[in-house]
A and B are shown apart, each in its own frame.
Chain A
Amino acid sequence: MLAVAEVTPAWYLVLGSLIFTIGAVGLLVRRNPLVMFMCVELMLNAVTLTFVTFSRMLRDVHGMTTVVFVLVVAAAEVVVGLGIIVALLRKQPTATADDLTVLKG
């Protein structure tokens, strides 16, 4: 007896908040810059998922356009961020985020 529950917008919202939390916690607890970077991506995607859900719920296209913007910004951010991280790891393969204190006041 397989009762297939209907997929409501709430499911998407819950999924979005779960992904966001995983990303946020990962960002705070991991020290590998590459992993932290991936966590940031997770948080961004969780937010976009939430936007799309609300856009469907409210029948408003603006949520979807925002998603497009977020994707563009995220792509640009990946270019810059990955560049920095790769350059850093090439110089010092064992580097962690905590070693990046050159700019401390």
Chain B
Amino acid sequence: MLDLVWLIPALPLAGFLLLVVVGRRLGEPGAGWVATLAAAGSFLATVVVFVGLLAEDEHSRSHVVTLFEWIPAGGLRVDLALLADPLSITMALFVTGIGSLIHLYSIGYMHGDERFSKFFVYLNLFVFSMLMLVLGDNLLVTFLGWEGVGACSYFLISFWFEKDENASAGKKAFVTNRIGDWGFMLAMFLAFATVGSLSYTTLAEEAGGIAPVTATAIALLLFVGACGKSAQLPLFVWLPDAMAGPTPVSALIHAATMVTSGVFLMTRVNPILAQAYDWAPDVIAWVGVITALFAATIAVAQNDIKKVLAYSTVSQLGYMFLAVGTGAYVAAIFHMVTHAFFKALLFLGSGSVIHGMGDEQDMRRMGNLRTYMPITAGTFIVGWLAIAGVPPFAGFWSKDEILLYAFDANPVLWALGLLTALLTAFYMSRQVFLVFFGEERFREPAALGATGDAGASAQPEADEPAAEAHGHGHEPHESPWLMTAPLVVLAVLAVVGGGLNLPFTPDLHLLGHWLEPVLHGNEAHVDVETGTKVLLAVVAVVASLVGIAGAVAVYLQKRVEPVEPEVLANGWYYDSTITAFMGGPGRAAFQALADFDKGVIDGAVNGVATLVRTGGRGLRTLQPGYVRSYALGIAVGAVVLLAYFLTRVSF
């Protein structure tokens, strides 16, 4: 059954090719169903491989399927090979599973879009690339997928490219990711130069022989790549802007799957990370925790329903890197999976809200939506409790485990993580209260500015049937079943997801046991007594509840004026500072480089050409074409030579 692993990426690829050819003819909703079936088929194939892997002995759960020899070039031999092991199959399971749900959701969400089939072309291509990324047996195949998902992310962020800002958001994501890719490529070169192979299996075997200095360089360069793809400081700027894309894209690419590939990569190369100097993991942990806190503070003051979730994603990814840095790989993957459940749920829920509100994204113009869209509200609330860390929802278990390892590594890391957890609970509660509770603000005239029929809003109940027609009415409405069904499934997963890895007894550590073979014993071991563990969990829960209580006081009961400083709303001016720097001195520096290239490099080349041309033009006058002058030249030459020899030769 393990040999079927090629089917996993092949099905989305087939869907992509089919839709490229006949997508437009299939139209709506046919193209969407084809894409959804391709993704769902891929999920089934993954389940089959998963079952096959379960049947194997624990230590032989690593199966390489070589499709063909990709690059046989001297010492470099790269196969297009897929690696089925616990880590890749875990990733593939949730990528295809959540991917199928989001495909289904998109059929409803993209209803009526003029480029309906194109959307699914990109979506299937994305799933294919993502699966190549996680299933690749070597760094180069992973890089192939890495670039593929980057390109799809670019296409999909700029999907509605008619608006200038969407197009530039896509470009921003693409360019920022290039910086990360630079690190990834250098790491590959270095790994090949040292080990002579790019395959993960070989790298894991040879890792012990790599010099710590080289291992540190490889690990940190890969981390640069991970920072770009997973939106960590200092390269996170593209992710909030990426919200310009359609909401299912934000859910699939910019929350659940693509942005976690950095965490996956770092987990994959854990033998190299273990061989590196001790400060290398510390760098990762600190970058992670600072990003987590930084993004959480920004999320507190955002008014766009999707921007809050975007910064929240950056923050949660920071948690995962904190886990990787403290050696808690299982916790990182655990949080990645639960985060995929609840963040996809939250994004899809926000998409449902946006859909129901007729493309309104400003939370200040929402309120009390739970009476209008009960399913969306109910599932969103589940997602909120999960991310806020309220037991027994999924987020609590994974976050608690990360904090436990952080506490064991360095109490300061733990304290910052705890503060982030508190802020997370606060800003998510704020969002839920602003959107689903409180008074209805969407009827206020300002909200209707564009449509200009303020008069109609005075009699809201009268023209309700007409408004139900499609999305663009004034009355919020619940979304079709195509959109609510995935919400319900994800909500169930967000509730029970914690069951993957319960801390009570070692037997319940399912994910931990499952991932053991790929971690090569590099997982950190915590030396904390059970009493302390319980205490830490209680403190974490209290922090969450304090955050929620704070939001209740501020946004629900309005006993306290909301504090949303301008500096936070503008993201600490980080983005604008970078823009100003790159637009000013940066642009000047690049202009100087361009001028150097034009003047000196091109100048040297053109100068040589000019010299040759001028010389040639001068020499041309020596050939006037008059035969007799040539003859004269020959005669004079002969006389001169004769005279020369006569003076030299003595008779």
Closest to B617 in A: A105
Q: B623 to A28, Cβ gap below 8 A?
A: no
**Nearest chain A CB to B170's CB is how many angstroms away?**
57
Tell me, yes or no, whether B163 is within 8 Å of chain A by CB: no
**Nearest chain A CB to B297's CB is how many angstroms away?**
77
Q: A28 to B624, Cβ gap below 8 A?
A: no
**Nearest chain A CB to B649's CB is how many angstroms away?**
17
| Docked pose: A20 CA to B452 CA in angstroms | 109
**Nearest chain B CB to A39's CB is how many angstroms away?**
9
Residues of A near B626 (CB, < 8 A) are: 97-98, 101
| Docked pose: A102 CA to B623 CA in angstroms | 11
**Nearest chain B CB to A24's CB is how many angstroms away?**
6
Tell me, yes or no, whether A62 is within 8 Å of chain B by CB: no
Q: B628 to A105, Cβ gap below 8 A?
A: no
Q: B621 to A98, Cβ gap below 8 A?
A: no
Residues of B near A56 (CB, < 8 A) are: none
Residues of A near B621 (CB, < 8 A) are: 105
**Nearest chain A CB to B541's CB is how many angstroms away?**
93
Would A97 and B625 be within 8 Å (CB), given that A24-B635, A28-B632, A105-B620 are in contact? Answer: no
Q: A28 to B631, Cβ gap below 8 A?
A: yes
Q: Tally chain B residues at the interface, Cβ within 8 Å.
A: 13
Tell me, yes or no, whether A27 is within 8 Å of chain B by CB: yes
Q: A101 to B625, Cβ gap below 8 A?
A: yes
| Docked pose: A77 CA to B625 CA in angstroms | 20
**Nearest chain B CB to A97's CB is how many angstroms away?**
5
| Docked pose: A101 CA to B631 CA in angstroms | 14
Q: Mark B625-642, 1 if CB is under 8 A from A, else 0.
A: 111100110010000000
Q: A102 to B635, Cβ gap below 8 A?
A: no
Q: B628 to A27, Cβ gap below 8 A?
A: yes
Tell me, yes or no, whether A2 is within 8 Å of chain B by CB: no
Residues of B near A98 (CB, < 8 A) are: 626-628
Tell me, yes or no, whether B609 is within 8 Å of chain A by CB: no
**Nearest chain A CB to B641's CB is how many angstroms away?**
15
Tell me, yes or no, whether B71 is within 8 Å of chain A by CB: no
25 A–B pairs (Cβ distance < 8 Å), ordered by A:
A24-B635, A27-B628, A28-B631, A28-B632, A28-B635, A36-B627, A97-B626, A97-B627, A97-B628, A98-B626, A98-B628, A100-B625, A101-B624, A101-B625, A101-B626, A102-B625, A103-B623, A103-B625, A104-B623, A104-B624, A105-B620, A105-B621, A105-B622, A105-B623, A105-B624
- Name B's A-contacting residues (CB within 8 A): 619-628, 631-632, 635
Given A28-B628, A36-B627, A102-B625, 13 extra CB contacts under 8 A = A27-B628, A27-B631, A28-B632, A36-B628, A98-B628, A100-B625, A101-B626, A104-B624, A105-B620, A105-B621, A105-B622, A105-B623, A105-B625
